[in-house]
Amino acid sequence: MGSGCVVVLIAKTPLAGQVKTRLCPPLSGAQAAAVATALLCDAADAATATGADTWCAYHGDEAVLRRLLPDAVRLLPQRGGDLAQRLAAAQADVFAIGYERVVLYGADCPTVAAADLCLALESLDHADVVLGPAADGGYTILASSRPTPALFDGVVMSTEQVLADTLRLAAGLQVTLLDSRHDLDTVADLLAALDDGQLDNAPRTHELVGQLLARRPRPPGGGRPVPIR
């Protein structure tokens, strides 16, 4: 990737009781925070493996993130109100630094591999916006070659309509959609990603999910493990 490209991790400090609360139960708060840490570290590795500059737009304790992330990852505090506003602000801030191609990348989605991020940046040769759909109706990445504040305007994040709302706001732009990847908010998401091989390039998450969930009892007749409550 050229020097004008940047991957921006959108992250929250992985503290027990404050992250991945939809995993609890069956996981404890500490276990959910451990999963969040694994997700963040695997996502950071994917971002740095692209060869592009990597920034982390963070919410929470900077010192904790500094200990977890590689030195090559630069930190940028999030600003704004709701998540949509903070995404728009992070995008604007890195473009203001001078980057020409920007990928916003959910730091809890290491189902997106380095190859996906490279493809998003390369696809900007012929697209205004590149989106990586999430299986839950949202998106895992958004790449563009200029600020796109309108794509965040009024969008209620963390709903099944996020991708559809974003595409509606992108009317008139050339949009490229990548392959869908699992967002990792629930136990079902983690198990589906594990079963589908989408954690194969996320070694910390793969190992931890296997330890915490993969050996739980399966329902009669097969199927995915049933979380113990």
**Which pLDDT tens digit goes with each residue over 109-168?**
999 999 999 999 999 999 999 999 999 999 999 999 999 999 999 999 989 999 999 999
Domain total for the chain? Answer: 1
What tokens does 17 get?
Answer: 């009781």
The closest alpha carbon to 128, from 111, 142, 115, 114, belongs to: 142
Q: Is the pLDDT of residue 229 over 60?
A: no
pTM (2 d.p.): 0.91
Alpha-carbon separation of residue 67 from 41, 54, 64, 165 (angstroms): 11, 16, 5, 36
**pLDDT tens-digit readout, 11-20:** 999 999 999 9
- Whole-angstrom Cα distance, residue 163 to residue 178? 12
**Residue 219 resides in a domain:** no
**Residue 38 resides in a domain:** yes
Residue 102 forms beta bridges with which residues?
6, 144
Range of the domain at 178: 5-214
Q: Is the pLDDT of residue 226 over 60?
A: no
**Residue 90 resides in a domain:** yes
**Residue 60 resides in a domain:** yes
> What angle, 0 to 180 degrees and rounded to 10, lies between the N-to-C axes of helices 114-123 and 29-49?
50
| CATH number for the domain harbouring residue 200 | 3.90.550.10
**pLDDT tens-digit readout, 41-72:** 999 999 999 999 999 999 999 999 999 999 99
Judging by beta carbons within 10 Å of its beta carbon (0-12, 13-18, 19+), is residue 190 exposed, middle or buried?
buried
**Residue 124 resides in a domain:** yes
**Residue 226 resides in a domain:** no
Give the pLDDT band of residue 213 (cuts 50, 70, 90).
confident
Residue 56 forms beta bridges with which residues?
9, 75
**Residue 154 resides in a domain:** yes
Alpha-carbon separation of residue 46 from 55, 145, 146, 212 (angstroms): 12, 20, 23, 23
> Given this model, what pLDDT does residue 1 score?
61
**pLDDT tens-digit readout, 80-106:** 999 999 999 999 999 999 999 999 999
**Residue 228 resides in a domain:** no
